[in-house]
Amino acid sequence: MRPFNDSVIYFAVVDRFFNSDPANDNGRSPEAFDASQTDWFKYWGGDLGGMIQKLDYLKELGCSSVWLTPLFDQADGLVDVEGRGIAAYHGYWAKDFKRLDEHLASSPEDIRLFASKNTIVDRLVAEMHKKDMRLVLDIVCNHSSPARRPDVGGGPVKGEIYDDGKLLTSYDDDKLGWYHRNGGVCDWDNKGQVETSELCGLADFNESHIGYRTYIKDAMRLWLDKGVDAFRVDTVKHMPQWFWQEFVSDMVFHRPDLFIFGEWFQGGCFDPLSVQFANKSGMGMLDFGVQRGLEDCLARGNEQGFALLDKVFSLDHLFDDTRHLVTFIDNHDMPRFMSSGAAPARVDMALAVILTCRGTPCIYYGTEQYLHNDTNGGADPYNRPMMEKWDTGTPAFKLVKNSPGCAARTRPCSTAASAGSSCPPTFTPIPACTAPIAVSPFSTGGRKPRYPWRA
């Protein structure tokens, strides 16, 4: 698997980034769209045309890779989550992995994106590659959708899955046996339950069924053939390791230069199971350890300060290859850094850390504009505001773009920034000399030393 550590990733929630075409806002369910952008649980209008229009902005920022929330066709209408009506604006409730969601399209022909080579996805990929940028697609293999609210038309259909428009199965009429039926997770310390039970009422796929595995892998190969350069994989802790080993092997066989990283929520160096996942699954992982250290130190004012971060880096030896860890200061599943208490200068400091430490840095959309909303402490969904401005003169924007040693575009030219490790130097005595020689922490590229006596 090819690492992405010569790159800076920009992560955008597509619906909340830029609206290029009001004609696609309503989709198939007008009640799921809010033009006033005050109902945080509905669509607000961002689309792929908007992403294309803002590529020059992202290129100027210095981000050479763009991670987009899932683009698959989503459950329509308002979905019932704990008695609350929510639209699938975020992209994590797919019903057809072989079609584009209509809210993101520029024409009806775009929706059947594998029937044409001139869709909005093709244009996005072409424009990105022309600018030497790479597309990271967010994918979900663990689950489909929860039940739809009956008060918005039709029955409460849960987990409907289609193959390019053809209904295959659903949770309530699962003739193919594609779903687990174990209820919700009750014991989060029970690994088997976490892997086979439902998360927040989402229909949980039964990965042991070969039919499901064939369907999901075939769909992802089609997206790779469209020009997708990398996958970010949602909810990896909720599926067994053997599935990920099979999935990654098949995807990398199809695309040898593919980069894949997963979201093991709250995983990292202090979580042995997530460390095992990072070392054995074949994919990289979001580094929640660095995120928590930065948040506690710079946003929440923990008196231990940067010692918290030092503890994280001191455990880098647990990972086979830290280049595959994706570092970040916040994302769409937690309050933004400023909502956690950080002043703008502290945001800049946190960005400087991830831009210069080992791994692959990822910047959540709007961070360079200090975008945040502190309602309810900035928790979901208030951590997903609409992108409001495109100022290339903010200190954070200029930090990412221009600061010496921190500029995103310097990572491909800087071995220390792109391939270095944060492991402390080791000392190997030389028989002919009593003085030890320090082995540079950047000499192994973040991997375990090849020679065991240097470990």
The DSSP 8-state label assigned to residue 35 in this structure reads T
* Local structure of 321: helix, strand or coil: strand
| Interior angle at CA 141, CA 264 and CA 67, nearest 5 | 65
CA 411/CA 400 separation, integer angstroms: 11
How many alpha carbons fall within 13 Å on the CB side of residue 195?
A: 13
Strands 284-286 and 325-327, bridge-based pairing: parallel
Token reading at 447:
């991997």
Q: Where are the alpha helices (DSSP H) in 255-337?
A: 272-280, 288-294, 307-313
Name 151's Cβ contacts closer than 8 Å, sequence gap at least 6. 85
CA 66/CA 229 separation, integer angstroms: 10
* Local structure of 427: helix, strand or coil: strand
195 tagged catalytic: no
The residue type of 305 is G
CA 247/CA 253 separation, integer angstroms: 10
CA 372/CA 331 separation, integer angstroms: 11
Catalytic residue (one of 15, 47, 204, 263): 263
Please state the length of the chain: 455
CA 424/CA 367 separation, integer angstroms: 31
Helix axes 395-402, 344-356, angle to 10 degrees: 20
CA 71/CA 389 separation, integer angstroms: 24
Q: Three-class SS string for 126-180?
A: HHHHHCCCEEEEEECCCECCCCECHHHCCCCCCCCEEECCEEEECCCCCCCCCEC
- Say which residue the tokens 């890779």 belong to: 65
234 tagged catalytic: yes
Token reading at 48:
């792929």
Token reading at 20:
């290029």
Catalytic residue (one of 6, 47, 80, 234): 234
> Hey, which residues are catalytic here?
234, 263
